[in-house]
Structure 1
Amino acid sequence: MAEPLLHHLPAVRARLLARPHWHLFLDFDGTLASLAPRPDTAHLPDGVGALLGCLAAHSRITLAVVSGRSLSDLAKEVAVPGIILVGNHGLEMTGPGVAFVHAGAEGWRAVLATAAGLLRAELARFPGVLIEEKRLSLSVHYRLAPAHAEEVGAAVGRAVASQGPGSGEPSSGGCSRVARAQAGGPAPQAAGAGLLVRRGHMVLELLPPVEWDKGAAVRWLLGQAHGTGWPGSCAPVCAGDDQTDETMFAALKGIGAVTLVKIGPGPTEAAYQLDGPEEVLVFLEHLLRWA
């Protein structure tokens, strides 16, 4: 069970100070910004952008915001110099020394666009359901239509199945094949070699069937920045609230001086927990003082 992080600040500080460099990986929605009924109404609270800028400017710290949002959307919400932005669950990244688009995902853009068209037609009868096209992935939000969750899930399953062989039923978990293998659990169901479906907070995500997720992305970034010996030179801090963030936790758990933080309630691979964005802000202020 995750422990309240703010009750264990001395231990966290000691772990971080044992390494010369810190690499922060922070989710956006539900972690830096409060969850909102619509993605376009979730924004950084006052003062958080300035704090992120101070963290990113510190020579000891590398800061990455890791999100399911598209890279273009994330760049609008987090317009802070010096930050690495990781969009579409790791499929695209940009920042100082980083320019990455997953080659295997690019070829699925037409399939995702077709699925989006099918879902718009089928789900138009449910007010409040939002179809969000993100170039390399697709989100179906039903936070404003919770009574229709079952119908939304069935529609997504049919749309995915129409793009390839297999059932296309949404997975009950939030992790991709890579992270499930690392965590020792089953892979999510997909339409054979077709699109993957993952659940988040009142959202279903449709993604290309590539062996990549937030966990793979953070491991890649650590290797790029610090080489294979990163566990001895870098202290990663990962924080996120959603099932998809568990892929980060599974990818780094038990390695070196890592600090894993679950935001909000629920089962998790993380050792620590914070209640929400307000406590995340408090923790980030501590990090800046410690650095």
Structure 2
Amino acid sequence: MTSDRPFSASAPPAPDFARASLFLDFDGTLVGIAPRPDAVVVPPGLATHLRRLSDALEGALAIVSGRSLPELARFLDGFDGLLVGSHGAEARGMAPPLAHAPEGIGAVQAALSAFAAREGLLYEPKTLGGAVHFRDRPAAGAAVAAFVDTLAAASPGFAVQPAKMAFELKPAGASKDRALTALSALPAFAGRAPVFLGDDATDEPALAWAGTQGGFGIKVGPGDSAARYRLPDPQAVARWLGMEG
């Protein structure tokens, strides 16, 4: 497999459980996007399906999300496999790429929360940062971007992460492609072709990375992407993974 093919709307080939390793985003990939981050609806039996999928892959499965690790674990209660949160800064089941919060995190979170309250926007606290969502007020996007950029410039150790109708401050250096590199060094992933599924701008580095490592990326939903393949929504992801029923 190579990474030089143009992005297409074609569906990916069936999963090869004997040769592939799977890395799955959470929001927009395993579950639908909700108006609020705490309002996502987790499909019944998702944790059980993920356990079975991990067994079929002999442990070569990880959930890689921008959510805080404790929140991700709560939504996937019953799944005891590898979890990576905060864009690779937190992990369960392996040594995380980043094991401590950046200096000044309290001040950064307070500033984001105060700005969101002042502008009537939604603040999402995270273990190692925070996000301001403007899904209900799309016209506020430019103001959110400007505020977050200014705050990042004054806050060493943090970087801006654009997301769907949101801007986040996360630990500088944390990214999903770096998380996949670390995960791929684990014994369960050795010799397997990485396949990453994601839907957001936060996923693009990992989608591209998978294509350079003998595997491929799968973009979930619309939009241009570095991925080779596309699936339309989380329901199609579930069907592709054999997780329905």
C-alpha distance 59-118 of structure 1, shift in aligned 2 (>3 A): closer
1:21 CA displacement: 4.2
Write the letter of the residue equivalent to 2:205: T
Q: Does the CA contact (< 8 Å) of 1:137 and 1:208 recur in 2?
A: yes
Determine helix, strand or coil for the equivalent of 1:267.
coil
- Matching residue of 1:190: none
The match for 1:56 among 54, 57, 63 is 54
Deviations 1:49-77 (A, max 9, x none): 33212112335352211100000000001
Alignment of 1:5-84 (within 5 A): 5-6=10-11, 9=13, 12-13=14-15, 16=16, 20-58=18-56, 60-84=58-82
Structure 2 CA distance for aligned equivalents of residues 59 and 160 of structure 1? 40
- Matching residue of 2:209: 251
1:267 CA displacement: 1.3
1:107 CA displacement: 4.7
The match for 2:138 among 146, 171, 188 is 146
Write the letter of the residue equivalent to 1:202: M
Q: Does the CA contact (< 8 Å) of 1:66 and 1:85 recur in 2?
A: yes
- Matching residue of 1:223: 185
Q: Does the CA contact (< 8 Å) of 1:200 and 1:242 recur in 2?
A: yes
Determine helix, strand or coil for the equivalent of 2:204.
helix
1:155 CA displacement: 2.1
Deviations 1:159-196 (A, max 9, x none): 23333xxxxxxxxxxxxxxxxxxxxxxxxxxxxx4521
Q: Which has the larger radius of gyration?
A: 1
4+ residue stretches of structure 1 with deviation over 6 A?
none
C-alpha distance 161-235 of structure 1, shift in aligned 2 (>3 A): closer
Q: Does the CA contact (< 8 Å) of 2:64 and 2:83 recur in 1?
A: yes
Deviations 1:27-47 (A, max 9, x none): 000000000111000132224
Structure 1 CA distance for aligned equivalents of residues 129 and 109 of structure 2? 10
Q: Does the CA contact (< 8 Å) of 2:31 and 2:40 recur in 1?
A: yes
Q: Does the CA contact (< 8 Å) of 2:23 and 2:63 recur in 1?
A: yes
Whose helix proportion is higher, 1 or 2? Answer: 1
The match for 2:117 among 110, 124, 127 is 124
Q: Does the CA contact (< 8 Å) of 2:27 and 2:33 recur in 1?
A: yes
Write the letter of the residue equivalent to 1:2: F
1:119 CA displacement: 2.6
Q: Does the CA contact (< 8 Å) of 1:142 and 1:148 recur in 2?
A: yes
Determine helix, strand or coil for the equivalent of 1:23.
strand
- Superposition RMSD in Å: 2.3
C-alpha distance 107-73 of structure 1, shift in aligned 2 (>3 A): closer
Normalized against structure 1, the TM-score is what?
0.74
